Amino acid sequence: MSVLIIAEHNNRELNPATLHAIQAARQLGEVAVLVAGHQAEAVVEQTKQVSGVHHVLLAQAVHYETGLAEELAPLVVSLASSYSHIGATATAFGKNLMPRVAALLDCSQISDLTEIIDAHTFVRPIYAGNAYATVQSQEPKLVLTFRATAFDAAATEGGSATVETVAAEPAQNLSRFVGRELTQSDRPELTQAKVIVSGGRALGSAEQFNRVLTPLADKLNAAIGASRAAVDAGYAPNDYQVGQTGKVVAPELYIAVGISGAIQHLAGMQDSKVIVAINKDPEAPIFNVADYGLVADLFTAVPELIAALDS
């Protein structure tokens, strides 16, 4: 059996999120990776060195440059006949593209899977991670998205894949890319970070959110996350949101500051190795999952914590 993984990239670098899908796919068979883009040779160079990749397919066209699902889906479908499984990491890119591919193939899809039982049987979370369903597919072809935090990343070295250029499909021109506005940050990427400092509504304002959390995150070389309440209140940008409807993270250390711990937030972080909660409400549900809880006012506790880390 062979598996086709769709690479996520910006035409210069392979997104590390793809490494998790590659590693997961190795359990299913020989792995091929499709790099569809425009002037994306650098991505091919990186991808062929990824451990476990047998084959890299390169499809180049201007209409693949920005990753529009309308353009990429017909390309993936044109290659599908050689593969038993087709997948991607369950990022915004993978979630956008794969169901379109699945429908064009008239196949169902298994989303955000966290465990591979065998080639047809998978485990995935439902109801915001409050239950895990084991699903078996009778489809001739399986379309999958993999939850990044449930699988290790494939090593970026040690591979020696063959590279083949494949023909581009004609442009669909159903949609047009207008622009992208990325949040500027020198911090580690949220879904890849080893330490995350996350803030909730108790921070009170965008200014205090930054003033309190930034020095702590700097100290720990951590990414900054936020609860939905903090994002909705405008304290933090949308792409900081951790939860069922935001990002799913599983760092070594997750520090929840002023976060009560609603079901939707827990869905995004309860697989973290160590969870610390700082909250002044001793009844907050976050304490039910925290390894270490500190009942204290965050405005005094966080500066104290920074000072203690200094000493």
Which residues ranging from 208 to 247 are in contact with another protein (CB under 8 A)?
220, 228, 231-232, 237-239, 244-245, 247
Size of the site for another protein (CB under 8 A): 89
| Contact call for residue 173 and another protein (CB under 8 A) | yes
Nearer to another protein, 4 or 278 (CB): 278
CA–CA gap between residue 176 and residue 279 (Å, rounded): 46
Distances (CA, A) of 224 to 194, 227, 253, 274, 295: 11, 11, 12, 16, 21
Query: What does the block give as tokens for 234?
Result: 């405008």
Nearer to another protein, 158 or 237 (CB): 237
- How many residues are present in the chain? 311
Q: Which of 69, 76, 88, 212 binds another protein (CB under 8 A)?
A: 69
Q: Which of 11, 27, 108, 210 binds another protein (CB under 8 A)?
A: 108
Nearer to another protein, 129 or 258 (CB): 129
| Contact call for residue 126 and another protein (CB under 8 A) | yes
Q: Which residues contact residue 304 at a Cβ distance below 8 angstroms, ignoring those fewer than 6 apart? A: none
Looking up tokens 């035409």 gives 11
| Contact call for residue 283 and another protein (CB under 8 A) | no
| Contact call for residue 180 and another protein (CB under 8 A) | yes
Q: Which of 41, 127, 158, 214 binds another protein (CB under 8 A)?
A: 127
CA–CA gap between residue 266 and residue 129 (Å, rounded): 8
Q: How far is the CB of 267 from another protein (least distance, A)?
A: 9
| Contact call for residue 175 and another protein (CB under 8 A) | yes
The burial class, CB within 10 Å (0-12 / 13-18 / 19+), for 25 is buried
CB 135 within 8 A of CB 124: yes
Binding mask 258-277 for another protein (x = CB under 8 A): -----xx-----x--xxxx-
Distances (CA, A) of 191 to 74, 248, 285: 29, 7, 23
| Contact call for residue 125 and another protein (CB under 8 A) | yes
| Contact call for residue 296 and another protein (CB under 8 A) | yes
Q: How far is the CB of 175 from another protein (least distance, A)?
A: 4
Q: Which of 39, 78, 82, 130 binds another protein (CB under 8 A)?
A: 130
Considering only CA atoms, give the Rg of the chain.
21
Which residues in the 35-64 window bind another protein by CB under 8 A? none
- What DSSP letter does each residue of 199-251 carry, written as one string? E-GGG-SHHHHHHHHHHHHHHHT-EEEE-HHHHHTTSS-GGGBBSTTSB----
| Contact call for residue 103 and another protein (CB under 8 A) | yes
Q: Which stretch binds another protein (CB under 8 A): 35-43, 196-204, 210-218, 303-311?
A: 303-311
